Structure 1
Amino acid sequence: MSNLVYSASRSATDAYRLVSRLQLSFVDGLDAVARSVATPCETHNVEWLRDHGSHGGGNRYGLTGPLFNRSSVNISQVHYDDLPSKKLGSATALSTIIHPDNPLAPSLHLHISWTEFKNKTGFWRLMADLNPAIEDTHATQTFNNCLKTVASKSYLEASSQGDQYFYIPVLKRHRGVAHFYLEGYQTDRPEADSEFAGAFGQAVIHCYLTLLKQAVTQSAIITEVHYQQQLDYHTLYFLQVLTLDRGTTSGLLIHDQNDIGILASLPANINKPLLTAWQKKLPPLQNQLLANILAVLPEQSLCPINDQTKKVIATTIRCHYQDNPASIDLQANAAKATQTVAHHRG
């Protein structure tokens, strides 16, 4: 029996139900796509606990099989009901990344979270981005149309924020081809806000499952060139997540009880010589961070990123920011920013 204690807040409870439904819907959908193309997958669920469960925790589904390079569908709820000195009440989230094995199929990142303070104020964060190694312009258009339809008036703001957040300055390109990042979303109709968050998640999941199935059932011949393009793109994804992504860094700095889950977004392998070549492009503090990460990676050109390596990477990142707190200012920004680490520590 799990020792995980959930928040007593009604809105946090409702948010956890929402992300739980989305999690199961996505896992079932991914499994259905795998079965439809005769590549059945195995589904694994791992639970993690914050402070032995007294302050919440979460679980993540991973799907393994020929369809997936990496997959992780996480939900979590961290709360501080028993710590009256903290202003933050709870943070409830769905965070998922799917990297298909097929280089013609795009990766997806989806994040939906509810943050609530003890004064009963709160906000939603909604993120979705399509990340292909090899772009299919029809898939990009389909994904953007999905976002426009479900987000309506919020689309332009969130698209602009997403493009800003997922830009990689040293490579002069974005991580993906379609980006949506709505930060600090709240209106005077909390029930409608929650319904919007749920509808957003369901729409993105449905759209992505359709694009994934289309990609893996097309008759195009996949070559070694395609796989090399995918490996190089996964290396770019690795660079962006570990040197620019505030969500990843914040999660690692807040606690060390879910390192593997937080770094579940990393692909299975990267091109280490390419990553090494990019190091010299980075400003000094990020150069140092990447040098430290490179030092703990396996000495292989086709460099595997397994769970043990993730643990070492997480420790390396924490040490870097503890020694160089100014490095946090070099991370990605959008028009709106929240102080995630400060909220959890304050």
Structure 2
Amino acid sequence: MTDDFTERKARASGWFRRLRDDIVTAFEGLEDSHADGPFADLPPGRFDVTPTVRSADDGSDAGGGLMSVMRGGRVFEKVGVNVSTVYGTLGSAAQKSMAARGVPGIESDPRFWASGISLVAHMRNPHVPAVHMNTRMFWTPNAWWFGGGSDLNPCLEYDADTAHFHATQKAHLDPHGADLYPALKAWADEYFYIPHRKRARGVGGVFMDDRNTGDWETDFALTQDIGRAFLPAYVPLVETRRTQAFTEADKDAQLVHRGLYAEYNLVYDRGTKFGLATGHDPDAVLMSLPPLAKWA
């Protein structure tokens, strides 16, 4: 499988990088176009781009990527768009976790390769929803799969925003099968549920993991369409809400909701756990955390 997947790995990692570039350009464009509203006196935000490095236990190169973070913009209070390609040997804890998920042969041959893009945006205006998006490919000598999705996390909910976000996801998924959107929506509802709060993190989206139908091209095409859906699903919501007036109570609700987001990511999120367990740059792994939050 190793030789057969060399070209496919390159295609997947190249796609994630191009998607990252498109999103960074679009988000900086939103900053440039926001010349009115509550934060118009601020300069437009720009991404600070930092290379990330993952080192193996023996100090050898184990891949890396780019951490792109914008702080203090007109529209985005903090947004991270990270892309990485890492490889090496999984530690014993990660091996056991993968084996428990049904990954074949992982304990006998724990070599791995993983590439993906991860995005989390926390917004200035509490009327603009926070958002998360991730797509990824994972490979071992005995298995491969895709995963990811996107979900909307408003502190002040608008039915029209939720409907648009979900309708855009559905439109991009329907060409892959009419049953796919309902299945991935239900998966997102389950995955982003916070048991100790007995509530969802947000208003959902789509999510998949361990996607391997046996047809790599088909699964890669689906993963790309999940990524392509993100900007048309989210940018119109930002443009609609970014200049809306808000109160101190609205801002307080935003900070409390950010606390909920932080709880989920630190306690339950599988990607956070994997990144920290495999030695990736902790700043890149934890870029999903909000800049400010509060608990009641």
In the superposition, the TM-score normalised over structure 1's length comes to 0.71
Distance across 1 between alignment mates of 2:180 and 2:249: 39
Structure 1 Cα separation of the partners of residues 166 and 270 of structure 2: 24
2:283 aligned counterpart, secondary structure: helix
Match for 1:79: what amino acid?
Y
How far residue 247 of structure 1 moved from its aligned partner, in angstroms, is 1.8
- Residue 77 of structure 2: aligned partner: 69
CA contact (8 A) 1:131 1:175 kept: yes
1:183 aligned to 2:209? yes
Give the counterpart letter for 1:20 in structure 2.
Answer: R
Greater CA deviation, 136-145 or 207-216? 207-216
Indicate the residue corresponding to 2:23 in structure 1: 26
Deviation for aligned residue 1:140? 0.3
In the alignment, which residue of structure 2 is the partner of 1:308?
none
1:114 and 2:157 matched = no
User: Paired residue for 1:46?
Assistant: 50
1:156 to 2:160 alignment: no
Worse overlay, 153-162 or 92-101: 153-162
Distance in 2 of aligned mates of 1:148 and 1:96: 20
1:122-133 alignment, distance < 5 Å = 122-133=144-155
Which residue of structure 2 aligns with residue 214 of structure 1? 240
**Counterparts of 1:57 and 1:195, CA distance in 2:** 24
The superposition leaves residues 234-258 of structure 1 with CA deviations (integer Å, 9 ceiling, x where unpaired) of 1111111112222212221221x41
Secondary structure of 1:80's counterpart equals: strand
From 137, 142, 162, the equivalent of 1:140 is 162
Q: 1:96 aligns with which of 119, 140, 150?
A: 119
Closer/same/farther in 2, CA of residues 188 and 63 from structure 1, 3 Å limit? same
- Cα drift, residue 53 of structure 1: 6.6
Shift, 1:184, TM fit: 1.4
1:57 aligns with 2:57: no
CA root-mean-square deviation: 2.1
SS at match of 1:49: strand
Superposed counterparts of 1:216-295, under 5 Å: 216-217=242-243, 220-255=244-279, 257-272=280-295, 274=296
Letter in 1 for 2:26: G
Q: Are residues 1:36 and 2:62 paired? A: no
Q: Deviations over 1:86-112 (max 9, x none)?
A: 444311111110111110001110010
Aligned partners of 1:161, 1:199: CA distance in 2, in Å?
17
Q: Separation in 1 of the partners of 2:127 and 2:109? A: 47
TM-score normalised by structure 2 residue count: 0.83
SS of the residue corresponding to residue 49 of structure 2 reads: strand
Q: CA contact under 8 A between 2:168 and 2:232: conserved in structure 1?
A: no
Which secondary structure does the structure 1 equivalent of 2:47 belong to?
Answer: strand
Distance of 1:27 and 1:264 partners within structure 2 = 15
Which of 14, 18, 22 aligns to 1:17? It is 14
Letter in structure 2 aligned against 1:135: E
The letter of the residue matching 1:235 is G
Structure 2 portions without partners, runs of 5+: 36-42, 90-107
Residues 168-205 of structure 1 show CA distances to partners (whole Å, capped at 9, x for unaligned) of 12222100102321111123432232222112201112
Q: Number of residue pairs matched?
A: 261
| Comparing 184-193 and 204-213, the one that deviates more | 184-193
**Corresponding residue SS for 1:74:** strand
Q: In structure 1, list runs of 5 or more residues that go unmatched.
A: 1-7, 275-346
Match of 2:98 in 1: none
- Tell me what 1:167 maps to: 193
Please say if residues 149 and 227 of structure 2, whose CA atoms lie closer than 8 Å, have aligned partners that are also in contact: no
Give the deviation of 1:25 after TM superposition.
0.4
SS at match of 1:143: helix
CA positional deviation for 1:160: 1.2
